[in-house]
A and B are shown apart, each in its own frame.
Chain A
Amino acid sequence: MAIEDYRGDVEMCCRCGACKHIPLQKVKGIEHSYACPSIAKYNFHAYSGSGRLLIAKEMLTKGFKYTDKLLDIVYNCQMCGACDISCKYAMDMEVLLPINEFRIKCVEEGHTHPALEKVINSLRKQGTMVPGARGKRAAWAEGLGLKDATKEKVAVYYHVGCLTSYDKNYQKLAKATAKILKKAGVDFGIGYENESCCGGRAFQMGYKEDFLNQAKKNMAMLKKAGVKTLVTGCAAGYQAFKVLYDKYNLKGKLEVVHITEYLARLIKEGKLKLNKKVNMTVTYHDPCYLGRLGEPWIHWEGKRIPGYKFVFDPPKEYRRGTNGVYEPPREVIKSIPGLKLAEMDRIKEYAWCCGAGGGVNQSNPEFAMWTAKERIEEAESTGAEAIATACPWCEKNFNEAIKKSGSALKVYDIVELVEKAI
């Protein structure tokens, strides 16, 4: 699908403004009523979901004219999909997909962002989205005696992800995950140096071809290794393997599970016992790519029925954020003795983005920090001592924002909390 294929959708935008806010039933007052970081920060309608569609509509009619401002609009979006959910509360139309295709078109026509080009060059050269990554991908696993899934059969393949593999501050997440899985008696392995980037963030940035290259490479490796279940601790990785690979008919029968889903399953089955008290109140931040955008892909092909209604043959089932991964992370948190959960105003399908999505943490760090600070203030308003999340990219962005703002809030991945409890 290309942007041209979404002409009908972009023409459906009625400029109601719903895409700027969380679903209206959930608005509890003047605070935390916005869903879209981009319109909240940049104010011109062009920075909203609606504005992006209206620009696309005009350009589909008159031709694409790239200005610096247009590219500023295009790249100052976390692709978090909040606009999509709020719109689809009421409307039958796609919002995020055409926005994504617009960005892909920009990249394909050479209108890239220099900071994102640098990241993609790293992907092309080193197979990672962490520019300047040095050393081995699985250096964190040295001495742990983990199985190499590419050399021996395992029940579960743990895809570690770029940031967790290469950033020394976040290798602790991989170590904690390995420790927990071992404790639960899971027969798992990792890919060591054969693991490669999932390509998900490349797709968010508009680099569809690079994403497809990664996807094909990964699926070939996983198929060869006979992997049936893939577990990942990265929300972007989860969405890539589970949703995007499926969208492009590359996933096959691979079962994709986020670590929080897997831990919830192990706890329910009694294979993982959480005995130690973790006396703390946390609030949970739903990563966009695990929550609303983690909803399974729905394969559909059809045509608009000619006439006055916006209906299709066969009927189109929309992804509206209903089936994202919301409960498993909460179930895990609630299973930890002593740990209390205090919810924020914006949660689940209408959660506010951490700011790192869409490559914004690399293309516009100041905007990424602004977005994260908004979330940190929201987290603080719950009275929680810490914000728990389930994605290393979120954790990193929050940590950086906290460092800059001087907040006393702590940040944990859920695996770190589970590690404390075993």
Chain B
Amino acid sequence: MAISKDVYKEFEDVVGEENISDDPAIKDAYRSPNITVVLPGDTEEVAAVVKLCNKHKIPFKAQSTGWSFMPPTYDFIFLDLRRMNCIIEINEKNMYAVVEPYVISAELQGELFKRGMICNVKGSGSTCTALAMSGHGHMGLTTSTGDRNDLATEWVTDEGEIIRLGTLGASDEWFCGDGPGPSLRGILRGGGVITKQATKVYHWPGPSVYPLEGSSPRYTLSQKPSDLNMMVRYFSFPSIEKLVEAELKIGESEIAFELMGFCPSMVSSNITTSNEEDFATLDKFTKEVQGPGFMVIIAGNFPEDFAYKKKVLAQIIKETGGKSLKTVEDPAVESTLLFQCTRVCASIRETFRAGGAFSSMMVQGQRYDNHVRWLEEAAVLKRELIKKGLVIADDGQQFGWGEEQGHLGHTEIFCRFNPYDEKSSKAVQEWLGKVGKRALDGCFAVPAMGVLPIDEIGKHVSNYHIWFGKLKKAFDPNEVGENTGYSYVGADISGVHTSIYKKEPEKASSKK
């Protein structure tokens, strides 16, 4: 047992016997041999668990729905928030929803559809938490990024104090993240435990329930997308410049509901139901496209609105030399893309199905055209791995898109590979390091966590990591909150994307 029986009993007294375990089988399922798992049922239990961690100087980490494997944890107490899965409120008038951490996006989205509304869904998919935390996704054009959607928040600090942020700090209202009341949105990431949060919701012109027919994995719409005043198209362009021009024009005209910078491999993954079918479809698409592209979804509020938006789109595509991928014009394919990409249900096909793992380098926040050059360079390096047969062959495809109608942007490139093949894993990790360094050195962008050591990134970005370290000390004097990836000075978590598959996590060590 990682912690003494007496201490274990104290945690057990908080959550109940059935909601704590340090059995090897339970830990195997979390791939962390040194943890004790607790399942708090509400905010008060979270706070009590965290206070106990402080009392005994035991590190802790919390997780909502989880997606993929988190970096190896060296912690003793792992808070699995699965029992906290309630939608607290949907406020139609003020356009927000309040959720607990284990509400998945599909659940919230399903409830919102009935009310003619929709929430942002992270690109990792609708099986992930509906909390408005970091994450960029398919609907970014309309609903922006995850962290631009968070409103009032209930937060348990690393010391176990329950803090209500934004309007919640001054009232019972959840409509604003910045006040009246304290705003700590800038430092939320990685520290403490978010136990409830309000997220923005948006107008949804689509149906309250998609009229689906057939059986898994081949659901189809019983109506044509056009019958729902909706349309999906994939356009490829002669150059990146033309693609960016088209994206910006679409953003300016505000005609699209969704613009996803899919590469052909992501389209083929979404519409196919097996690897073999996927690779064959990708081969076909690769020959059909003329260059970089994106998928766009038009959603009209009524027939005239739909007609107007389609007309504007046609004009933009004409002006920018876009070419429509014929396969996507087939209503059967179109409808599959429509419900896959508005419900964000097939991210796993895009990422994990082919080889079992993917490692991604993403750049987000700036405008797409600012960092797209980096993306091209990263693709050249990726093609070298493809040539050597180390990663899935997808012609080095990369992707990106404008968010908030093009004011912000996201670019990303990932390699899909077999994580149990040492050569592949090593090659991917080296590639991540190279493209991450290139992003920094070329002043393109800041690579996401796990690509380079925090210290190396920080010195390029106003030494933010030092400030973060100071904040960490202030909020977590006992150093029990595990957020290595964000703030610990000197922490090197580069390599986590691939190492989780082959390395045993090190023995737990208390940070006393």
Nearest chain A residue, comparing its CB with the CB of B212: A25
Contact yes or no, B424 A23, CB < 8 A: no
Contact yes or no, A43 B39, CB < 8 A: yes
Does chain B have a CB within 8 A of A404? Answer: no
Contact yes or no, A90 B348, CB < 8 A: yes
Does chain A have a CB within 8 A of B333? Answer: no
Stretch at the interface among A192-200, A227-235, A316-324, A329-337: A316-324
Contact flags A45-63 to B (C-beta < 8 A → 1, else 0): 1101011101101110000
Docked complex: B10-42 residues within 8 A CB-CB of A:
19, 21, 23-26, 28-31, 37, 39
Stretch at the interface among B154-162, B181-189, B251-259, B352-360: B352-360
Does chain B have a CB within 8 A of A92? Answer: yes
| Chain A hits for B418, CB < 8 A | 307-310
Contact yes or no, B29 A322, CB < 8 A: no
Does chain B have a CB within 8 A of A349? Answer: yes
Does chain B have a CB within 8 A of A30? Answer: yes
A17-B67, A55-B29, A309-B355 given. 7 additional CB < 8 A pairs? Answer: A11-B419, A44-B26, A55-B25, A58-B31, A70-B23, A91-B348, A309-B354
Docked complex: A17-76 residues within 8 A CB-CB of B:
17-18, 20-21, 23-30, 33, 39, 43-46, 48, 50-52, 54-55, 57-59, 65, 67-70, 73
Q: Which of B212, B275, B352, B391 contacts A14 (CB 8 A)?
A: B352
| Chain A hits for B442, CB < 8 A | none
Does chain B have a CB within 8 A of A315? Answer: yes
| Chain A hits for B82, CB < 8 A | 39, 43-45
Does chain B have a CB within 8 A of A348? Answer: yes
Cα A46 to Cα B215 in complex, Å, equals: 28
Does chain A have a CB within 8 A of B417? Answer: yes
Does chain B have a CB within 8 A of A156? Answer: no
Query: Smallest distance from the beta carbon of B370 to chain A beta carbons, Å?
Result: 32
Stretch at the interface among B216-224, B375-383, B467-475: B216-224
Contact flags B62-79 to A (C-beta < 8 A → 1, else 0): 000111110000000000
Contact yes or no, A321 B354, CB < 8 A: no
| Chain A hits for B67, CB < 8 A | 15-17
Cα A320 to Cα B21 in complex, Å, equals: 34
A311 with B276: in contact, given A25-B212, A43-B82, A44-B26 (CB under 8 Å)?
yes
Q: Which of B24, B66, B343 contacts A15 (CB 8 A)?
A: B66
Does chain A have a CB within 8 A of B125? Answer: yes
Contact yes or no, A25 B219, CB < 8 A: yes
Nearest chain A residue, comparing its CB with the CB of B111: A29
Docked complex: A192-213 residues within 8 A CB-CB of B:
none
Docked complex: B359-393 residues within 8 A CB-CB of A:
389-392
Does chain A have a CB within 8 A of B346? Answer: yes
A308 with B391: in contact, given A59-B28, A90-B349, A315-B276 (CB under 8 Å)?
yes
Does chain A have a CB within 8 A of B107? Answer: yes
Query: Smallest distance from the beta carbon of A374 to chain B beta carbons, Å?
Result: 15
Does chain A have a CB within 8 A of B420? Answer: yes
Query: Smallest distance from the beta carbon of A223 to chain B beta carbons, Å?
Result: 34
Interface residues on A, range: 35 or more
A44 with B424: in contact, given A11-B356, A308-B392, A318-B274 (CB under 8 Å)?
no
Contact yes or no, B349 A29, CB < 8 A: no
Contact yes or no, B215 A308, CB < 8 A: no
Contact yes or no, B24 A30, CB < 8 A: no
Docked complex: B160-183 residues within 8 A CB-CB of A:
none
Query: Smallest distance from the beta carbon of B105 to chain A beta carbons, Å?
Result: 9
Cα A29 to Cα B109 in complex, Å, equals: 7
Cα A145 to Cα B107 in complex, Å, equals: 55
Give 13 pairs: A residue, B residue, CB < 8 Å, sorted on A. A14-B69, A16-B67, A16-B68, A20-B127, A24-B126, A26-B212, A88-B216, A91-B349, A308-B391, A310-B356, A310-B418, A321-B215, A349-B216
For B21, B24, B65, the residue with the greatest tally of chain A CB atoms inside 10 Å of its CB is: B24
Cα A140 to Cα B417 in complex, Å, equals: 60
Nearest chain A residue, comparing its CB with the CB of B209: A28
Cα A25 to Cα B345 in complex, Å, equals: 7
Does chain A have a CB within 8 A of B323? Answer: no
Cα A20 to Cα B352 in complex, Å, equals: 17
Cα A57 to Cα B29 in complex, Å, equals: 9
Docked complex: A86-117 residues within 8 A CB-CB of B:
86, 88-92
A30 with B215: in contact, given A21-B104, A44-B26, A90-B348 (CB under 8 Å)?
no
Does chain B have a CB within 8 A of A85? Answer: yes
Docked complex: B195-234 residues within 8 A CB-CB of A:
209-210, 212, 215-219
Contact yes or no, A16 B339, CB < 8 A: no
Does chain B have a CB within 8 A of A367? Answer: no
Contact yes or no, A311 B275, CB < 8 A: yes
| Chain A hits for B83, CB < 8 A | 43
Does chain B have a CB within 8 A of A393? Answer: no
| Chain A hits for B85, CB < 8 A | 30
Does chain B have a CB within 8 A of A186? Answer: no
Cα A65 to Cα B345 in complex, Å, equals: 36
Please report A residues at the B interface, Cβ cutoff 8 Å. Answer: 11-12, 14-18, 20-21, 23-30, 33, 39, 43-46, 48, 50-52, 54-55, 57-59, 65, 67-70, 73, 85-86, 88-92, 307-311, 315, 318, 320-324, 326, 348-350
Cα A57 to Cα B419 in complex, Å, equals: 14
Cα A323 to Cα B128 in complex, Å, equals: 29
Contact flags B107-140 to A (C-beta < 8 A → 1, else 0): 1111101100000000001111000000000000
Cα A17 to Cα B70 in complex, Å, equals: 13
Q: Which of A14, A25, A30, A85 contacts B103 (CB 8 A)?
A: A30
Cα A33 to Cα B114 in complex, Å, equals: 15
Cα A45 to Cα B353 in complex, Å, equals: 21
Cα A315 to Cα B103 in complex, Å, equals: 37
Contact yes or no, B353 A46, CB < 8 A: no
Does chain A have a CB within 8 A of B329? Answer: no
| Chain A hits for B219, CB < 8 A | 23, 25
User: 5 tightest CB-CB pairs across the interface, nearest first?
Assistant: A51-B29, A46-B29, A69-B23, A70-B25, A90-B348
Nearest chain B residue, comparing its CB with the CB of A73: B25
Nearest chain B residue, comparing its CB with the CB of A88: B217
Contact yes or no, A310 B127, CB < 8 A: no
| Chain B hits for A73, CB < 8 A | 25-26
Contact yes or no, A14 B357, CB < 8 A: yes
| Chain A hits for B114, CB < 8 A | 28-29
Cα A323 to Cα B214 in complex, Å, equals: 10
Contact yes or no, B346 A308, CB < 8 A: no
Contact yes or no, A308 B355, CB < 8 A: yes
Does chain A have a CB within 8 A of B87? Answer: yes
| Chain B hits for A89, CB < 8 A | 216-217, 345
Contact yes or no, A21 B216, CB < 8 A: no
Q: Which of A55, A310, A324 contacts B354 (CB 8 A)?
A: A310
| Chain A hits for B390, CB < 8 A | 308
| Chain B hits for A44, CB < 8 A | 21, 26, 29, 37, 39, 80, 82
A308 with B421: in contact, given A69-B25, A322-B218 (CB under 8 Å)?
yes
Contact yes or no, B343 A24, CB < 8 A: yes
Contact yes or no, B212 A27, CB < 8 A: no
Q: Which of A23, A43, A350 contacts B80 (CB 8 A)?
A: A43
Contact yes or no, A309 B26, CB < 8 A: no
Cα A217 to Cα B85 in complex, Å, equals: 49
Does chain A have a CB within 8 A of B106? Answer: yes
| Chain A hits for B209, CB < 8 A | 28
Docked complex: B303-354 residues within 8 A CB-CB of A:
339-340, 343, 345-346, 348-349, 351-354
Nearest chain A residue, comparing its CB with the CB of B129: A17
| Chain B hits for A29, CB < 8 A | 107, 110-111, 114
Cα A259 to Cα B349 in complex, Å, equals: 38
Nearest chain B residue, comparing its CB with the CB of A54: B29
Contact yes or no, A46 B28, CB < 8 A: yes
Contact yes or no, A18 B127, CB < 8 A: yes
Query: Smallest distance from the beta carbon of A355 to chain B beta carbons, Å?
Result: 19
| Chain A hits for B339, CB < 8 A | 25
